[in-house]
Amino acid sequence: MLIARLEPENNIETILDGIAQSEDQTPMIVIGNHNTKFGNYLKQKFAENTNIRFIGAVYNQMHLDNLRYFSNLYFHGHSVGGANPSLLEAMASGALIVAHKNEFNSAILKENARYFLTAGDVKKIVLQTKKSDNLRLIQNNLDAIASEFNWDKINGEYLQLFEEKLSSNH
């Protein structure tokens, strides 16, 4: 499954090309507003792939977390920006993450994900990767959420920065 704004920079077409090339018939759920120019293009391009299902936007956080948790693979194709909130949500939900290989995703996930750049990479991952064989990666991400990406730690780091700046001005 994947959850994203259906925009080219989120590598959705690359992911879906890999899914189609794999010929794996496991359902691939695409969550996001698909009533856009690019969304319509994707729906048309992959219309013959009955396992690729565009279900639209889902805003209920509990439903999204359950979908992530119960998916075999969770694709995160975002290629711009920093610590994307949806990536942290995927880590916290116990998903096995397959992320676009870039500096932003690698800085957050480190070695605790499978990475892709091409549709061929996606195809290989789909055919060779099972969530049940990668429980250590999932646990490492859950541990990272608890230790590195929690509000107490983040707020404490901001407080320390502010205190350092205030003390250096005196």
* pTM, to two decimals: 0.89
Q: Domain residues for 6? A: 2-168
Listed range (30-34, 89-93, 117-121, 156-160) with the worst mean pLDDT: 156-160
Residue 100, domain CATH: 3.40.50.2000
pLDDT in tens, 20-41: 999 999 999 999 999 999 999 9
Q: DSSP string covering the chain, please?
A: -EE----GGGTHHHHHHHHHHHT--S-EEEES---SHHHHHHHHHTTT-TTEEEEE----HHHHHHHHHH-S-EEE---SSSS-HHHHHHHHTT--EEEE-SHHHHHHHTTSSEEESSHHHHHHHHHH--GGG-HHHHHHHHHHHHHTS-HHHHHHHHHHHHHHHHHHT-
Please count the structural domains in the chain.
Answer: 1
pLDDT in tens, 45-91: 999 999 999 999 999 999 999 999 999 999 999 988 766 889 999 99
Give 24: exposed, middle or buried? Use CB within 10 Å, 0-12, 13-18, 19+. Answer: middle
pLDDT at 31: 97
